[in-house]
Chain A
């Protein structure tokens, strides 16, 4: 692989805070004009600027409908999803060297979900979505989610699934799933790579780790505002560095802190490289990520790892 464009972009004044080797944020979000926030452009610009400073090679991002403005964040309407997915792909078109997209779908609208997946993924290389985002519109183990997983298998793309770590009750505004529920879906679709969202994003991550320990097609994304000491060490012990993915979600300073803490948590350079980008290149396909050139064919797509 080569040193990436991100390092070049950030090197004019100062070296990237996280160094010049590739770095993939697998859990990013952007906003658009229909999200009801007058500062939406500033927030997008801030994410890209912070990414430059950190040294993020590529933001793999989604927009969850209107983020609550015209339909609920976790129960987005078909119209809002189409607008948001278009806005996400437009961002990718305007930043082809550093932004890639998830297509976000609502499993309660099966036909629309299939249409959106086909519409957003089925595009020429570099122009389409490279993964599917499922928020919290339907419990992960519900049969209605199966058709989405089947589409992921057919397109050979991963699913990033919003997770509440150890959901012990219903939470307002979402039909949240936890690791056990995602694990049931993952067991039914061993050929699909599932990214279990933000172990630092709320709830008890200590419950999540053993719940997916034996599911090789479930990867843990480290994002979220939570920076509990012990979380990174425990995650690495539970699933190994080969199933950890770096990400930020809504707080990039916690992403940078966790990146810096990986070494302190006992990961060696090779393991840190897995978390920074190698695992992402494996499940997305390095051809799908700008600035990352494969040393060889991806080591193990989810389909291979699961068999």
Chain B
């Protein structure tokens, strides 16, 4: 990774941050306009101040290095709004160097895709990455799914991230802070209530895949787990950016007043734990 504009990327951004966005094309279907400039326009339209941005093609790459460079180049013109989240693949040579560079660049988090890399729960490399993120004060961002399981391409056989894998990663190091995107109520509850209070305090979820009314899964989770466990995320460009806002708009009045955790709070927890 190059080391330009590090200072700009460390600037704190006030307001709402979408922690679950990507740029770049998707391997299994056409996605319209998955570019950084479009993302910036979408954020403005949706009144979202900033986004944590992954590199979508890299999800299925073996070597994440070129994708990380591309991500930095694509987001650089939008520094302060788009925050690149590089991939760190912990079974790839020199992965520790990639993590160090990410930290030097001020990246708030790094992404990892254990199902796509064939890493089962308990994988030693993933545990090592969790430990290194805990030591470095960098949030570890995991993706439960990119698409609905019913529509996947026959070559997309990785499967969803499992609750067991998340529990293991959170337990791998006493200071690692983990953010999981695109999980539903069943997985969230299985992980949350399968961890100690100290462990679950280091774990956040985005709301991009949690059902609203009439099942009211989001309302239920905010009541039972607390709003401070959840952050704003959409899954753009694979999913509509309007969805998390609609979900929040449909919460009961009492819950609509409860603020979700901010991306800044998640980062502060990671850096405070160094």
Contact = CB atoms under 8 A, between A and B. Distances in A.
A250 B215 contact: yes
B254 to A, nearest CB: 13
A292 to B, nearest CB: 23
Given A227-B240, A230-B30, A17 B215 contact: no
Given A257-B240, A260-B242, A261-B240, A225 B32 contact: no
A56 to B, nearest CB: 11
Classify the interface of chain B: helix, strand, loop or mixed: loop
Given A53-B250, A204-B151, A253-B246, A258 B240 contact: yes
Query: Which bucket holds chain A's interface residue count?
Result: 35 or more
A261 B242 contact: yes
A230 B31 contact: yes
A251 interface: yes
A233 interface: yes
Interface stretch (A44-52, A92-100, A182-190): A44-52
A165 interface: yes
B150 A46 contact: no
Interface in A40-95: 43-44, 46-47, 49-50, 53-54
Classify the interface of chain A: helix, strand, loop or mixed: helix
B215 A254 contact: no
B5 interface: no
A258 B245 CA distance: 12
B215 A43 contact: yes
B238 A256 contact: no
A44 B216 CA distance: 11
Contacts of B213: 46-47, 49-50, 252-253
A229 B236 contact: yes
B151 A226 contact: yes
A223 to B, nearest CB: 13
B38 to A, nearest CB: 10
12 contacts: A47-B213, A47-B214, A202-B151, A227-B239, A227-B242, A228-B29, A228-B239, A229-B237, A230-B31, A253-B246, A256-B246, A257-B242
Interface of A: 17, 43-44, 46-47, 49-50, 53-54, 164-166, 168, 202-206, 225-230, 233, 250-254, 256-258, 260-261, 264
